[in-house]
Amino acid sequence: MTQALRRPEAGIAPKDRILVGIDTPDRGVAIGLAERLGDAVGGIKLGMEFFNAQGPDGIRAVAGGRPLFLDLKYHDIPNTVAGAVRSAVAACRPMIINIHAAGGPAMMRAAVAANRETADAEGIARPKLIAVTVLTSLDDADLEAVGQRGPSGEQALRLARLAQDAGCDGVVCSPLEIAAIRAACGPGFALVVPGIRPAGSGDDDQKRVTTPGRAVAAGADWVVIGRPIPQAADPVAAARAIAADIAETAGQGDR
């Protein structure tokens, strides 16, 4: 699984739309799972749990040239986020990296500039810089509790438009917002979608979910799937079943 992560275009293989979330602090476990999955998925997602335990060296060891979604969700003042993006891009060389859209336009513009400048300085392909809209663990009541304007779908769309205006390449959104954001932001705006659960699996701590095939059929470019693959008795078989669901439901994943 050393090929570059493919662009979301007609003809993309269903398996290449799958980014498997490897959420563990254990380097050996993460490396073993990444190697075991091989080319059954399109790439891997490593986030805060692993990064905080193992740092950039651990990220590089697990990625090993595989397409990487570095899921650190930066959210701070513009200068701090710009510095964090520079460090992460230079050290980890991800295909996708994310920030929080709630950090505001200035923060997002600083991250976009830092991403571009670092990629150019390092002589590497520029990662897609995407912004998190509303976490899939939140619902309308949660937004109200923290004083954000809802409903969640309207807030996600509002933040997606803000991210696009700031120069971001796309957003992270729940399955329930895919169609509205796709319609508002167009076909070239990347939609990376967590909250994906195969039919028959539990929702865990996710509140806005759908199946992999339905997400891609609605317009998702990539689906992020955590526990249903790594915690399966046979992770490879689980990944292949998800790819089959995408192929059947979304017509090979083409839009």
Beta bridge partners of 74: 99
Contact (CB, 8 A) for 36 and 240: no
**What is the DSSP annotation of 92-157?**
H--SEEEEEGGG-HHHHHHHHHHHHHHHHHHT-PPPEEEEE-S-TT--HHHHHHTT--S-HHHHHH
Contact (CB, 8 A) for 196 and 158: no
Contact (CB, 8 A) for 212 and 245: yes
Torsion angle of C-alpha atoms 144, 172, 194, 11, degrees rounded to 10:
150
Q: Could you confirm whether 45 is annotated as catalytic?
A: no
Residue with tokens 């930066």: 74
Among residues 15, 73, 128, 207, the one annotated as catalytic is: 73
| Cα Rg of the chain (Å, integer) | 17
Cα 253–Cα 162–Cα 22 angle in degrees, nearest 5 = 50
| Beta-sheet pairing, 68-74 with 222-225 | unpaired
Which residues are the active-site residues?
A: 73
